[in-house]
Amino acid sequence: MTSTTSPRVALVTGGSGGIGRATAERLARDGFAVGVHYAGNRARAEEVVEKIAADGGRALAVGGDVADEAAMRAAFDAVEEAFGGIDVVVNTAGIMVLSPVAEMDLDDLDRMHRTNIRGTFVVSQQAARRVRTGGAIINFSTSVTRTKFPTYAGYVASKAAVESMSLVLARELRGRDITVNAVAPGPTATPLFLDGKDQQTIDNLANAVPLERLGRPEDIAETVAFLAGPARWVNGQVLFTNGGLA
């Protein structure tokens, strides 16, 4: 049971950049102590930690491959040791390789699915074992499961798996007062999204949204903060945060 005298604690995987960074900083502003996870760039994670600390919050950088059970167990251990427990796990870590099905490099497919599927499963498994009563587990899908853009098949396959495992886990945690949901962003201006796209493609995607702009990382963090905090009656759902794209 979460102590009434200690802050709530969140672990954000992929917390060193893009949506993960915006999420870590938003949760810190909401009063969470935050574990900022990184896969390879510790310096970027430390920048997030320093920013949170400068704003009066508490944060810790933790590293490791999300698909490595021992590394994630150690990351969870470090956050629990530093802050006394874990209430919210936000799993933004993921990679995206785009290719038509006929041309997809199967090594790229395996690498993407190792991070996106196995990684989400490993993090969810640790979260299911450790998140305290009243907590939340928030995984990440994509709005392309609905829009079905060409070249996204391998990526969408991995994220459809994330959606399914998240909805099953919500039901497995019956009686624990822990919510499990997935957030499915639309086109969001992050390095992962913008990489390899020309300006015309970016403009076309922005114009396809009824709000006529790309999402910002802060838009997605707003949804995460809702699920991490007041949204105790939202459980076993996929929230499409995409400006009305699909």
* Cβ neighbour number for residue 153 with a 10 Å cutoff: 18
CB 13 within 8 A of CB 46: no
Is 38 in the active site? no
**Cα–Cα separations (whole angstroms), residue 229 to 44, 51, 93, 161, 198:** 26, 22, 21, 25, 37
Of the listed 32, 152, 155, 193, which one is catalytic?
155
Phi, psi for residue 131 in degrees, rounded to 5: -60, 135
- Which residues are identified as catalytic? 155
